[in-house]
Amino acid sequence: MTPVRDVAYFGAGPAKIPEEVLRRTQDDIVNWRGTGVGILEVSHRSTEYMAMMQETEERLRSMMDIPTEYAVLFMAGGGTAQFAAVVLNLVRQDPAKRQVDYLISGSWSSKAAQEAERLLAHTDLQVNQIQLFNKTKGEMAFTCPSEWNLSRETTSYVYYCDNETIDGIEMPSSDYIPDMLDACGCNAPIVVDMSSNFLSRPVNVRRFGVIFATAQKNFGPAGVTVAIVRRNLLTVAAPPLLPIPTTLDYCIFDKSHSLHNTPPCSAISVCNYVFEWLGTRFGTLVHIEQLAQHKASQLYHCISESDGFYRSPIPPNFQSSMNVVFRIVKADGQVAPELEDEFVRDAEGRGLTGLRGHRSVGGIRVSLYNAVRTEEVMRVAAFMRSFAEKHADI
Ligand SMILES: *Cc1c(COP(=O)(O)O)cnc(C)c1O
């Protein structure tokens, strides 16, 4: 049998967690921090647990340089719950606000807009969807911001997704969209879903109203979601348009230090270790970003050197450093799902797992989160070359 950790795992989410963190958690399950009680059992009201929550928040604040006027909330329900939380918390009873603007770049931003539509269906507010990419003759192109039909003064916020996990589309930097909105004269609060590139590059937190990220992509296990919320958005005089369930209420989570009800204790403990690991191992987000770009470039290089055997559907400027998505193409230019199946099977035979693209789009997806090591990426690159050579005649 292959020793378990010889497997290199490239799953998109739940995704790889650093082995050091898994080992510590293994011990914690039986006896957490010397309390004699396991992390799955410990009371969230115990002094030790509350101290750990505080430490987790401080680690994240220092890593991301989060200003004090922002609340850091640990919530449950995943990124999907945040799709609703954003609408419920930010849309207020304000007759001047007629829309919510959603910049659509792929599957997750589209799902978020659908959730907004569902929640606002019986109100007179409109969900204004703005497509960020045009597709003509199979080629994707970024639309010109002057063509965006932004609502400006009449929107409660502008929403976008910084990294589309399924499609492999990432904004060139976390300032990219805020800069464009500024240039368009749009001052509405910006809400961003950073689920799959959180802690992979520096973020100028002050440019955002809300940043949220579900843990199981780049920093922990499923079950916990971080929301970073500018506090002045929580204290506006106008009451929310729709009632907010307490489990999604940013104000309640802020006041209770994310301890309004029982939090996902063990998941948060894992995040704590991951934050610590990032600090010791990489130091800063600038360094993490360099490494992430280096890892991704190994694979994008393989794609561009493959004479069209591998094809990235994404314009180079928007190719994600976290989720490298590509198709396998035959000499006649047609996508070859049977070769993609063979690719995934052969890769698994070599201990390279989690490479199948999302079921909604097909193809191959290599997720290169922080826990994925450079030598593991090199193994995929070597495999891609040998697979392309083997099929050179097709
Ligand atoms: C995975 C993902 C989500 C959904 O997260 P869940 O925890 O499954 O609800 C939302 N947005 C992005 C960008 C994601 O990658």
Q: Active-site residue numbers?
A: 108, 193, 217
Question: Probe ligand 1: pick from 105, 114, 165, max atoms within 8 Å of CB?
Answer: 165
Q: What is the pTM of this model?
A: 0.97
The token pair at 21 is 């963190």
CA of 80, closest atom in ligand 1 = 9
CATH of domain 28-279: 3.40.640.10
Question: Probe ligand 1: pick from 214, 226, 271, max atoms within 8 Å of CB?
Answer: 214
* Ligand 1, CB within 6 Å, residue ranges: 13, 78-80, 108, 161, 165, 193, 195-196, 214, 217
CA of 194, closest atom in ligand 1 = 13
Using alpha carbons, select from 321, 363, 78 the residue that is nearest to residue 195: 78
What backbone phi and psi angles, to 5 degrees, belong to 192? -130, 135
Cβ-proximal residues to 59 (8 Å cutoff; 6+ apart), any chain: 272, 275, 276, 279
Neighbours of 351 (CB within 10 A): 15
Give the distance (Å) from ligand 1 centre to CA of residue 389.
36
pLDDT (tens place) for every residue of the chain, 394 residues total: 455 568 999 999 999 999 999 999 999 999 999 999 999 999 999 999 999 999 999 999 999 999 999 999 999 999 999 999 999 999 999 999 999 999 999 999 999 999 999 999 999 999 999 999 998 877 899 999 999 999 999 999 999 999 999 999 999 999 999 999 999 999 999 999 999 999 999 999 999 999 999 999 999 999 999 999 999 999 888 999 999 999 999 999 999 999 999 999 999 999 999 999 999 999 999 999 999 999 999 999 999 999 999 999 999 999 999 999 999 999 899 999 999 999 999 999 999 999 999 999 999 999 999 999 999 999 999 999 999 999 987 6
Query: Residue 393: its pLDDT value, please?
Result: 72
The DSSP symbol for 352 reads E
Query: Residue 392: its pLDDT value, please?
Result: 81
Alpha-carbon span 195 to 99, nearest angstrom: 24
Using alpha carbons, select from 18, 24, 19 the residue that is nearest to residue 371: 18
Query: Residue 5: its pLDDT value, please?
Result: 67
The token pair at 42 is 């410990």
* Sequence spans of domains, the chain: 28-279, 284-390
Query: Residue 317: its pLDDT value, please?
Result: 96
Query: Residue 3: its pLDDT value, please?
Result: 56
CATH of 284-390 given 3.40.630.30, 3.30.70.330, 3.40.50.300, 3.90.1150.10? 3.90.1150.10
Protein residue with least CA distance to atom 4, ligand 1 = 79
Query: Residue 53: its pLDDT value, please?
Result: 97
Handedness of CA 169, 173, 174, 177 (dihedral sign): negative
CA of 81, closest atom in ligand 1 = 9
